[in-house]
Structure 1
């Protein structure tokens, strides 16, 4: 009777196991779930599937019902053990030992390895019986994890590389070739440690990007605000935040209003006015105002922390090259078994056959060829503020022939600059009024106006004061007159008629004196530095088509595009229209979509690779994107492209190193030119060469 066993369900990650989960059935299962889940992965070796889902949109029952509907089940799911006995089920394997402890152990092990190498290969002297016994015990201890995996494979009626290697090592240990066995185990241990170190390094760099520097905050206890440690805040508490502070929780505003800079969350150049009922997120900053927030999530449960967690998990999602490595490793298993048997028949020498087995049994080089290159690249990228959610997307960037760009917030900066101004009074007087009204204001537009005036040699009177009205403007009494400076709505609210709107391509701020309009100032977001150079470099690298997709009108779009060399320009686009264009382009070419806002997410979901720009893009953009660029530097696009191409080059070189040395070593072993110890030495040489070659990416 066929059953599905629920092995675990932790934090929206469901692990199921059944003999029905074969590659053939998996395709049908995946198609049935595609609209309901975030991701699904098949572990063919142990008949498991790992599903990531959003419990706000779908529950386990719905997922299971869909699986039942497309598979020939005769019995429904039962709850199994929380921890699967198969060690390959987890995407990220739990490990009780700290990396630091493992490195210390490996360092001690390296001392033994150097001694063994010098003693056998340089001095050519025999080991004492006591040392030989100790080396045997040490080798068995080191081989235990591999032997455990082989036992699991046998239980599941699978014969894998792990089984082949474990069998080879046991034969070596008990067949008297203890040094050869030790060398192979030592290399395998070092290879796995390197992979874990690289992944941990990348995760550490990623976590540093959202490291919370806030340790205390104010919460309401009755009618009193008290300061407590962030770690003591609980869901349901009411936290209080004022201008200049960083919000350190996710929640909903229940009182007050504030201008909030959400660049890390939504990449918007302008701060957002948030009022009662609006959501706020950790790692955003209040520029003006005071709000009371009902806490929904703290620490690892906040939105941005969960996004980073998804990026961390992606380090274990295999790229196309890594999948190819697994396929190649399986071929190595078959070839190795055949060559071992052929050598035994041809030479009648157990030593020669055993040496061939040692050469072909270690998959380090084959598996590390792509994984070490991809891991090095992801770690390097993270240190440079580029978050890559899996090696597959890294590899696809340099193979794409079409790059589509959003305009606002992606190719333009998030920093406003003064474009033009008009005045009905003396120019100097106009600028003096502006700077006196805005010089103490922390809003980005106020800072831009102040800088513009200062650059013209006009500075504020330090005694001047202005009253802020959040999201609207400022007012002040100056030299016996009442001045208002703000947006169109601010003027209307104060009964001031604005007879003619300025160019809608800009942000327009109006100045009124004693209820009469006396001038206006227009601001825009400047072209982001290096944007033009970035587009040219993409062309130089062979990208065939660069496309602009924007919601701006024709006049604004063409004026902006005049300084660039876009192959195609699409304007006045709604989100679904952007998506339609990307989908159409992707039918004939591989497409990369770069955007930053909510209106870009649908288009990003249709691209082969999606990149969120401007401090990670909007909440939705980060969720959809495969790669997030956090430093808002267009040069990172070129860095990413070059890294992609170089990673593929390194992976291919690694395949050549591993394959050629395996073939060469097997022939040497077949004809007795090297023994088991020499076979182990070959692994040391080509694995070291692969690791050093992959390290070039950094």
Structure 2
């Protein structure tokens, strides 16, 4: 296509369609044409040879009918370029940005991660670290310690940061947050500055800031990782204009537009099929494994994909009104309704605050020494038990999970996973594979070779995008079969395919197609009924109008499903269910084979979410595991949600608390074990911090621990807690199990 620049601002014309006597061009950005409509119209009217013209603001296009003998296309383009250039000096519009609707929702899950830093964020931490290192060098290397009184540089710095912490504490209280440990820390830092121990105050602030930065970094890293794993479903679409398909951004589509969607493309609108027929993969909406046949008068939805064939669709809902967008909004609303569960660190902070206040008061009453009481306050105000005891353990656990391809969106998600007593699974793409596998090849006669039947099936299916064809080709590849080239192919949408070469014809398809072509399948009737009853799919292979055999396929249960069920039972999960949009019969067969407690099929997304709400309202703590748009509402309603695989729908990945980037089901059991182990380490860290505080507080009360050594205690037990948490990075439950067996 020909493009012409319209100036130094990035505007250009793009010739979308040109035939003798008619030209259609698109102006980019589209908003320019709205500002320059009058200028362009006047120029076209004055141009000799232009018989008529039309300026379309909605699509950003200009259609010009002209006499080729009197005016050339190049002249028309120059005329339009000049008009846009002159108009652009007075008018400049910015094209609407292509905003990913998932990004605000994703960011809402980590909102405040960096805003929740204790004092000033990353730069503040770097500054504090540098200053403390400098002070240590002055004290121990140059034997010239910094002055720490309130009027010194160190005192002013510590005082300013203490005031900042006090303001943050006050704002948090006005917003309805619990007091926690921050008031106590603020008082301790203020007293340290007042007593001339400004470095001690800076040490407290440094540890607090470190914990905040670690928490924010973890949440932001999870956001980036997930964001990189996601992609926009449909960024452009083919709009039918004057009988021609024109590629336009999805954002330009309007209700009533006619859209053409080819094989392999995602449908960009909700609407009604006007022409064509195609197999449409609606698994992201309905959960059904097999594509559905859609032809004239059939409804289709945005976000579904045309597997085979093509469709002309009249748009009925576009943009934020589509089913996919409305589901996103429902997910966002569900997330907003969740209870604001307090972090485990708040509970630890409350304990330590009470202990610190009590110890300080008792010391003052018993010893009548303000110096000793303040020393106890400084020791007991160490934030390790609340910041590092949790943040370092969570950082190590989340890093452990990330190395295994498990993305956990923050500490609360990890904590919730340990509380689960009920698990609800989606079926397709979660417990079963996406691509069906061949379970049996049955020849028509005993002397026939099943390898030959597979060769015929692969020959016919090699160019098809149907999931069943992919299953056939996968099995053919495993057997080392290389299908011969095709000469002629005929596709029967939703039924099968026929190929011809050298006078031979091979037909592969369902029973309806073969019987329509006069090929009986009664020989396999009983066997077919058995397999259909078990939830499997049957296709037939015929050559030269004679039945050759039957191929049985199914979406097999993923490896590790049975082991996962067993491990979840052992870890305390009392109830497990399947909720699927697939047929009741297929879901029941799978549920019984895995020994699950309940199974429901033919469910809509809203029905899945409603069932999760019922379980939650009965007192159960529900974990929802899925990968499609039809799972997103349930994922958001559950206590915790897990999205399977990077191939899962974006909205499900966003709604979930935990994302398994691979399709290994055992990663779910691993994540639960890791969650429980992480909480154990947090408890250990708490008691390590408490023990250190008790010993240090006792020594301070006895006058054996001056404020500066109290700061050393802070650093020492921070390192101890960091070491204990760091063990989680390389923690592996399988190693522990092997040791026990040995």
Corresponding residue to 1:343 among 363, 374, 382: 363
Using the TM superposition, give the Cα deviation of residue 207 of structure 1 relative to its aligned residue in structure 2, in angstroms.
Answer: 1.6
2:546 counterpart of 1:526 = no
User: TM-score, length-normalised on structure 2?
Assistant: 0.65
CA distance in 1, matches of 2:659, 2:709: 46
Verify the 8 A CA contact 2:328 2:651 in the aligned structure 1: no
Q: What does 1:237-256 correspond to in 2, within 5 Å?
A: 241-245=261-265, 247=266, 251-252=270-271
Q: Which residue of 1 aligns with 2:229?
A: 209
Runs of 5+ in structure 1 lacking a partner? 1-88
Relative to 1, partners in 2 of residues 1:263 and 1:578: Cα closer, same or farther, differing over 3 Å? Answer: closer
Q: How many residues of Structure 1 are paired with residues of Structure 2 in the alignment?
A: 598
Using the TM superposition, give the Cα deviation of residue 234 of structure 1 relative to its aligned residue in structure 2, in angstroms.
Answer: 6.6
Q: Could you tell which deviates more after superposition, 595-604 or 233-242?
A: 595-604
Q: Which residue of 2 aligns with 1:413?
A: 433
2:467 counterpart of 1:444 = yes
Q: Which residue of 2 aligns with 1:462?
A: 485
Using the TM superposition, give the Cα deviation of residue 114 of structure 1 relative to its aligned residue in structure 2, in angstroms.
Answer: 0.8
User: TM-score, length-normalised on structure 1?
Assistant: 0.69
Q: What does 1:309-348 correspond to in 2, within 5 Å?
A: 322-323=343-344, 325-348=345-368
Relative to 1, partners in 2 of residues 1:174 and 1:287: Cα closer, same or farther, differing over 3 Å? Answer: same
Q: Which residue of 2 aligns with 1:277?
A: 299
2:510 counterpart of 1:510 = no
- DSSP-derived class of the 2:499 partner: strand
Verify the 8 A CA contact 1:420 1:521 in the aligned structure 2: yes
Q: Could you tell which deviates more after superposition, 393-402 or 669-678?
A: 393-402
Verify the 8 A CA contact 1:195 1:375 in the aligned structure 2: yes
Verify the 8 A CA contact 1:404 1:549 in the aligned structure 2: yes
Using the TM superposition, give the Cα deviation of residue 196 of structure 1 relative to its aligned residue in structure 2, in angstroms.
Answer: 0.9
Q: Which residue of 2 aligns with 1:172?
A: 192
CA distance in 2, matches of 1:678, 1:454: 70
Relative to 1, partners in 2 of residues 1:523 and 1:248: Cα closer, same or farther, differing over 3 Å? Answer: closer
Q: Which residue of 2 aligns with 1:22?
A: none
CA distance in 1, matches of 2:426, 2:699: 58
CA distance in 2, matches of 1:533, 1:156: 47
Relative to 1, partners in 2 of residues 1:540 and 1:488: Cα closer, same or farther, differing over 3 Å? Answer: same
**RMSD of aligned Cα (Å):** 5.1
Q: Which has the larger radius of gyration?
A: 2
Relative to 1, partners in 2 of residues 1:140 and 1:226: Cα closer, same or farther, differing over 3 Å? Answer: farther
2:682 counterpart of 1:660 = no
Corresponding residue to 1:473 among 485, 488, 496: 496
2:220 counterpart of 1:189 = no
Corresponding residue to 1:486 among 481, 484, 509: 509
Using the TM superposition, give the Cα deviation of residue 652 of structure 1 relative to its aligned residue in structure 2, in angstroms.
Answer: 0.9
Relative to 1, partners in 2 of residues 1:410 and 1:197: Cα closer, same or farther, differing over 3 Å? Answer: closer
Corresponding residue to 2:680 among 649, 652, 655: 649
Q: What does 1:252-651 correspond to in 2, within 5 Å?
A: 252=271, 258-261=278-281, 269-273=289-293, 277-281=299-303, 286-291=306-311, 294=315, 295-297=318-320, 322-323=343-344, 325-374=345-394, 376-378=396-398, 380-381=400-401, 384-386=404-406, 388=408, 391=411, 394-395=414-415, 397-398=417-418, 409-424=429-444, 427=449, 430-453=453-476, 455-456=478-479, 458-480=481-503, 483-491=506-514, 499=522, 500=525, 501-502=528-529, 503-504=531-532, 505=534, 506-512=536-542, 519-538=549-568, 566=595, 594=625, 611=642, 613=644, 627-651=658-682
Relative to 1, partners in 2 of residues 1:182 and 1:266: Cα closer, same or farther, differing over 3 Å? Answer: farther
Relative to 1, partners in 2 of residues 1:570 and 1:103: Cα closer, same or farther, differing over 3 Å? Answer: closer
Relative to 1, partners in 2 of residues 1:173 and 1:348: Cα closer, same or farther, differing over 3 Å? Answer: same
Deviations for 1:572-592, whole angstroms, at most 9, x for unmatched residues?
A: 877699999998999898775
Using the TM superposition, give the Cα deviation of residue 200 of structure 1 relative to its aligned residue in structure 2, in angstroms.
Answer: 0.9
Relative to 1, partners in 2 of residues 1:631 and 1:251: Cα closer, same or farther, differing over 3 Å? Answer: farther
2:154 counterpart of 1:135 = yes
CA distance in 1, matches of 2:271, 2:723: 50
Verify the 8 A CA contact 2:578 2:591 in the aligned structure 1: no
Using the TM superposition, give the Cα deviation of residue 242 of structure 1 relative to its aligned residue in structure 2, in angstroms.
Answer: 3.1
- DSSP-derived class of the 2:226 partner: helix
Runs of 5+ in structure 2 lacking a partner? 1-107, 730-742
